[in-house]
A = this chain, B = another copy of it.
Amino acid sequence: MENWESYVRKVVPYVPGEQPQAERMIKLNTNENPYPPAPGVQRALAGFNPDTLRLYPEPTCKVLVDAIASYYGLGSDQVFVGVGSDDVLAMIFLTFFNSGKPVFFPDITYSFYDVWADMLRIPYETKALDDAFEIRVEDYYGENGGVIFPNPNAPTGILMPLDKIEDIIAHNRDVIVVVDEAYIDFGGVSALPLIEKYDNLLIVQTFSKSRSMAGMRIGYAMGNAKLIRYINDVKYSFNSYTMNRTALALGVEAIRDRAYFEETRKKIIETREWTKKELRALGFTFGDSMSNFIFASHERVPATELFEALRREHIYVRHFTKERINNYLRISIGTREEMETFIRFLKEYLKEA
């Protein structure tokens, strides 16, 4: 080993979900939206002048921040945007989790929290979900350096009611509490109104799921102006120009169109409920997902076997090897047609299995 290697920040890197490139596949493995972005995105793309790419983007991302603020009825000083919610969350870890005390999050949750903590040398403690995969609020009462959890939780899809969320925030006024609402638009109730009451609360959302813009990398945080300023200070010290000109121009159109948003999320919710019914009839069990995926286990056939069988048919779902959840599949909700093909295959397969 060279001497310089001893100074390297050694990490166990996050392994992104497989991105298969097959021609005719059904991709239900990374919770993407089966519908294209709002029609305005296409118009913005068509009207985009490539010559402007020679110039830096506007560093405060004002057009996009304003569009998000206006959508939620917030002040523009209450919104921070980043390169996907991963960038937003990484900046939040870097900005706020510096107490030296452990940050608390669930044992089964978004698999990036411990990766960020490890990479940034932030101590953490995971709190076990109960047997129904629900968060026990009392677990978050102890002294800590911050709290973060998704709602609905990943990869379970289970929603926590607002009074429990408020209970966690109220018990943690000395630290920052982050509610990661990547999937909130698929049937959950956002904790956003609580930012007016609690100055230590940050809500994180993303354009990757309900806005059909995973490929554009746009995430955002909402909270009181002081919190947002602190994140911006760190962000400007990291990379002043993160959002490129296409992300700003197209992002504005992706959030502006309420009618398209309502139409597509309604379709996804309906397809999810139909899929739940079908899966239940086939012998699957699962929590009552309020996200754009279902986290399901079969009463008889192991998850790995189903995963491989589906894969052979070019139907991709996600399987995690982690203990407690290694007999589950996370199935993203595609179009109705895709889910019908998926169910049809399972029916056949389970008949023979």
Q: Which residues of A contact B (CB under 8 A)?
A: 2-4, 6-17, 19, 21, 27, 30, 32-37, 41-42, 45, 48, 50-59, 83-84, 86-87, 90, 94-99, 115-116, 118-119, 145-146, 173-176, 199-200, 208, 212-217, 230, 232-234, 236-247, 250
Contact = CB atoms under 8 A, between A and B. Distances in A.
A50 B46 CA distance: 9
Given A32-B56, A214-B54, A16 B240 contact: yes
Contacts of A37: 50-51, 53-54
A238 B216 CA distance: 17
Contact of A99 (B7, B14, B27, B145): B7
A235 to B, nearest CB: 8
30 contacts: A2-B174, A2-B199, A4-B175, A4-B176, A7-B146, A8-B96, A9-B95, A9-B230, A11-B237, A13-B232, A13-B233, A16-B59, A16-B236, A19-B58, A36-B53, A37-B51, A52-B215, A53-B214, A53-B215, A53-B250, A54-B213, A57-B214, A83-B83, A84-B242, A86-B238, A86-B241, A87-B238, A115-B237, A216-B244, A244-B246
A214 B51 CA distance: 11
